[in-house]
Structure 1
Amino acid sequence: MDSSSRPGAARDQQRTSFALVADEYARSRPGYPVEAARWLVGTRPSSVIELGAGTGKLTARLLELGHDVLATDPLQEMLDHLVEQHPDVRVAQAPAEQIPAATRSVDTVVAAQAFHWFDHPVALKEIARVLKPEGRIALVWNQRDERVPWVRKLTALLGEPPDDTDWAEVLISSGLFGYVETETFRHWQPLRKQDLRELVLSRSYVAVMDPMAQDRLLRKVDELFDAYDRGPDGLLLPYLTRCFRAVVRPRGIIEEPEHSRDLTEAARAVRDAQGPDGPSATAVPHEDDPATTLIDFR
């Protein structure tokens, strides 16, 4: 069952539970192959908004490629880790359904390991709003390669149902995006026993488990590791990095939503005051919410 089909309250509880395991998430979750980042957003420096950026696993790659990144996440606990690793990156505590950016101001909107948590109809409209003409949405997930026997057993222990969501169809059916391109990359994550424990603990549904049930699960995970560990270097966990990208469809006049209309004017005023040599991106604090910024990349 896809996360978006779970009852709303339970889904929100799981999504916010990442705040409880932000440390484990930062230490244990895998990054992304640089080839995947290049495919998603290109190599020419551009303006990128990352939704659900978490602790910055993909952010690091985007910065390496020279992109101008605004990293957003609804959980400050996750963003704290991102800022610790990348103190110069601009961040905003905001959900994907209320993107703090001006209309038609961004080259690419990317979400890594996060899109399944969004309210898709609302978030996709917001993404389409902030993209420039010919701008692109880019989605990516790391999925364990279960062709490897011990990985299949790990999935069985975790009780995770297969994710059979057709993400290309989700994008196409919105009517906001054109042809969806897909690509898959492979990489491996080296793990010792404690690493695997923390990787399991970083799962949202494990974070909210009863402590006794959580302990039983972790003991089984330890036993699985011991059964397959053959040397001092631990195990290699293989991943398939699934990537999707699509260009926004041409649109007519788009009205600024209530949550950003006033801020857009403020951002433009600041930009105009700076003159042509001012910075390409301006952060404007929201009067009602100091954690919210509006970015005008134009």
Structure 2
Amino acid sequence: MTDPASPDPARSFGSVADSYDRGRPSYPTDAVKWLIGDEPCSVLELGAGTGKLTEVLVGLGHDVFATDPDDAMLDILSEKLPDVRATSGTAEQIPTGDGLYDVVIVGQAFHWFDHAKALAEIGRVLRADGRLALIQNERDERIPWVRKLGKLIGKQESDFDPTAILDDSGIFSAVEAQTFRHWQVVDRHSIQDLVLSRSNIATLEPDAQDRKRREVLAFYDDYGRGMDGMQLPYNCRGWHAQVLPHAQVAISTSSTTGAYEVVELDEEPQPGVPLAKRTDTAVRLPRVITDPDGGDDDLLIDFR
């Protein structure tokens, strides 16, 4: 049974926003291109955090509206990307009008959502031919030292697959999936930020967080890599699906089943209200180096 007084892991990242921005990996450009396509389009990003994925989207020329429930995370995003519209909001109550976006994209956050409510909202804000795109980085724990790191910092969402959730919703066409390989350089500083940015660690008491940080630092120092760093391998998994034509989704009034009701519309959805630009308040933070040189031949090397 969950302790009602314990912190909500899904809302724990604001307290470690700086560490999240410094320690978490970005996303490979090829993966984002595959998810969205080659042509610039209007993109709504849910769970945008500090803008790891947003930076890639903007670099590809997309018009992005970024949302996240945590203002501390969005402050960092807005400092890095002051021209991006960004505001507080949840996937279960998206702060925008109907039928406005070509793509709704979610990076590393879909598993936190109330899926019934969130998919109803996503169906509402997408255009008739719009697309839902999901992307998630997973450490490649086939490599011995990465597996040891995983045991120290906690389980990742490696078993997560949204295909059944999207199929069962009745809102989307068949799901397509693809996996992309990439690497993140972690050094003696950023590996500490990586561990502190984990929700299972961010919700600990400060003394317990510090013990875990020192434990991971000792693990890193034991490999003797120093400031040269390590290449931490990731499998970046992506899924996308088209919204079914003219389908508007409403949640059932049943509080126990959370069932979907799909209603066919005879007319196009109406445009919503304009989006406000947020005020920037954060201090810019350094970006994590991603996509370093390396290949499959290096993957199975244990750095010890």
**TM-score where L is the length of structure 1:** 0.81
1:106 aligns with 2:104: no
Q: Quick one: distance in 1 between partners of 2:249 and 2:158?
A: 34
Q: Quick one: distance in 2 between partners of 1:73 and 1:251?
A: 27
Partner in structure 2 of residue 180 of structure 1: 175
1:155 aligns with 2:147: no
Give 1:162 deviation, angstroms: 5.5
Name the SS of the counterpart of 2:173 in structure 1: strand
Taking the TM superposition and a 5 Å limit, the aligned residue runs for 1:107-256 are: 107-160=102-155, 163-230=158-225, 232-252=227-247
Structure 1 counterpart of 2:175, which letter?
V
Q: Residue by residue, what CA displacement relative to the aligned partner does 1:98-154 show, whole Å, maximum 9, x if unpaired? A: 112221211000000111111110000100111111210000011001011111001
Change (3 A) 1:8 1:59: farther
1:46 aligns with 2:41: yes
Give 1:12 deviation, angstroms: 6.5
Q: Residue by residue, what CA displacement relative to the aligned partner does 1:142-172 show, whole Å, maximum 9, x if unpaired? A: 1001011111001111232664233111111
Structure 1 counterpart of 2:230, which letter?
L
8 Å contact 2:172–2:242 — kept in the other structure?
yes
Matching residue within 65, 71, 75 for 1:76: 71
Taking the TM superposition and a 5 Å limit, the aligned residue runs for 1:262-277 are: 267=273
Q: Quick one: distance in 2 between partners of 1:187 and 1:161?
A: 17
Number of residue pairs aligned between Structure 1 and Structure 2: 260
Change (3 A) 1:26 1:214: same
Q: Quick one: distance in 2 between partners of 1:231 and 1:219?
A: 15
Structure 2 counterpart of 1:127, which letter?
I
8 Å contact 1:150–1:228 — kept in the other structure?
no
Q: Quick one: distance in 2 between partners of 1:11 and 1:139?
A: 29
Partner in structure 1 of residue 17 of structure 2: 22
Give 1:219 deviation, angstroms: 2.1
Structure 2 counterpart of 1:200, which letter?
V
Change (3 A) 1:124 1:47: same
Q: Quick one: distance in 1 between partners of 2:145 and 2:276?
A: 49
Q: Residue by residue, what CA displacement relative to the aligned partner does 1:19-75 show, whole Å, maximum 9, x if unpaired? A: 100011111111111101111111211110000000000001111111111000011
Change (3 A) 1:169 1:253: closer
Structure 1 counterpart of 2:172, which letter?
F
Q: Quick one: distance in 2 between partners of 1:180 and 1:197?
A: 36
8 Å contact 1:266–1:284 — kept in the other structure?
no
Structure 1 counterpart of 2:72, which letter?
E
Partner in structure 2 of residue 259 of structure 1: none
Name the SS of the counterpart of 1:69 in structure 2: strand
8 Å contact 1:150–1:224 — kept in the other structure?
no
**TM-score where L is the length of structure 2:** 0.79
Q: Quick one: distance in 2 between partners of 1:47 and 1:14?
A: 30
8 Å contact 1:229–1:235 — kept in the other structure?
no
Structure 2 counterpart of 1:283, which letter?
L
5+ residue gaps in structure 1?
A: 1-5, 256-263, 268-281, 292-298
8 Å contact 1:184–1:241 — kept in the other structure?
yes
5+ residue gaps in structure 2?
A: 251-269, 280-304
Change (3 A) 1:266 1:63: closer
Partner in structure 1 of residue 89 of structure 2: 94
Larger RCO: 1 or 2 (CA < 8 Å, sep 6+): 2
Change (3 A) 1:230 1:97: same
Structure 1 counterpart of 2:15, which letter?
L
- The structure richer in helix per residue is 1
Change (3 A) 1:10 1:161: farther
Q: Quick one: distance in 2 between partners of 1:123 and 1:27?
A: 29
Q: Quick one: distance in 2 between partners of 1:100 and 1:26?
A: 24
Is the deviation greater in 12-21 or in 36-45?
12-21
Give 1:191 deviation, angstroms: 1.1
Q: Quick one: distance in 2 between partners of 1:230 and 1:106?
A: 45
